């Protein structure tokens, strides 16, 4: 894990807290209104919310755990996947209960709280975790760039789908991406340090 990505995690954590303390500010309201106006009703973008649904992510997570076990009994990797995806989901619910922000007012709106977006946060976590394992031992830089680009684009579309469907404000989504990335990097730091420790004692 390079210093740049660690620094970026500090930046994204700061972005999360900036939005948290500014939820009632004029600039956040303006951002939310502008994004809603731009994206609301976009059926193409809204379709991607299916890739952030809990059931879908659970299936993907189970398949990832099975793959890590079959490939080389990578129990440390399995723990990382649980830490990022399951742990991130728990953290998201804790943060929502802590902030208590209501969702956009529309008919038949979801009853859970809005900040930060679970789709944005857990979406980035499961996609980045898959990309990390898929490129962990990959020698081709082109394949690495392709896989990570796909993960980033998918995470972006999943988050934007919640604005298009009026399920979240833009600030919820940005905060979800931000804290999701921070949690991902913290988990990777643990994983790589643990990996080095085990290798030193072999």
**HEC string for the chain:** CCHHHHHHHHHHHHHHHHHHHCCCCHHHHHHHHHHHHHHCCCHHHHHHHHHHCHHHHHHHHHHHHHHHHHHHCCHHHHHHHHHHHHHHHHHHHHHHHHHCCCCCCCCCCCCCCCCCCHHHHHHHHHHHHHHHHHHCCCCCHHHHHHHHHHHHHHHHHHHHHHHHCCCCCHHHHHHHHHHHHHHHHHHHHHHHHHHHHHHHCC
pLDDT above 80: residue 162: yes
Residue with the larger pLDDT of the pair 156 and 110: 156
Span 68-83, pLDDT tens digits: 999 888 899 999 999 9
For the chain, give every domain's residue range.
Answer: 3-19+47-197
pLDDT above 80: residue 198: no
pLDDT above 90: residue 175: yes
Question: Span 88-106, mean pLDDT?
Answer: 94
**pLDDT at site 63:** 96
For residue 199, name the pLDDT band (cuts at 50, 70, 90).
low
**pLDDT at site 80:** 95
**pLDDT at site 186:** 96
Question: Span 96-106, mean pLDDT?
Answer: 93
**pLDDT at site 202:** 58
Tokens at residue 73, please? Answer: 């009994």
For residue 111, name the pLDDT band (cuts at 50, 70, 90).
confident
Among 81, 98, 155, 93, which residue's Cα sits nearest to residue 118? 93
Span 178-189, pLDDT tens digits: 999 999 999 999
Angle (nearest 5°) at CA 51 between 6 and 21: 50
Distance CA 19, CA 21 (A): 6
Half-sphere exposure of 144 (CA within 13 A, CB side): 9
**pLDDT at site 41:** 87
Neighbours of 69 (CB within 10 A): 13
Question: Span 107-130, mean pLDDT?
Answer: 94
Question: Span 40-47, mean pLDDT?
Answer: 93
């Amino acid at each position: 894990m390079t210093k740049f990505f660690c620094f970026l995690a500090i930046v994204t954590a700061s972005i999360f807290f900036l939005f948290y303390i500014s939820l009632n500010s004029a600039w956040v309201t303006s951002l939310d209104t502008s994004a809603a106006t731009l994206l609301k009703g976009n059926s193409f973008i809204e379709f991607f919310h299916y890739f952030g649904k809990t059931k879908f992510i659970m299936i993907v997570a189970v398949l990832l755990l099975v793959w890590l076990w079959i490939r080389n009994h990578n129990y440390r990797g399995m723990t990382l996947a649980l830490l990022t995806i399951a742990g991130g989901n728990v953290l998201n619910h804790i943060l929502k209960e802590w902030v208590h922000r209501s969702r956009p007012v529309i008919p038949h709106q979801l009853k859970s709280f809005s900040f930060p977006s679970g789709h944005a946060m857990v979406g980035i976590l499961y996609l980045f975790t898959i990309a990390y394992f898929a490129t962990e031992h990959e020698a081709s830089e082109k394949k690495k760039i392709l896989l990570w680009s796909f993960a980033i684009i998918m995470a972006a579309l999943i988050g934007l789908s919640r604005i298009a469907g009026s399920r979240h404000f833009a600030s919820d989504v940005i905060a979800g991406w931000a804290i999701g990335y921070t949690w991902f990097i913290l988990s990777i730091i643990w994983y790589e340090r643990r990996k080095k420790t085990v290798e030193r004692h072999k």
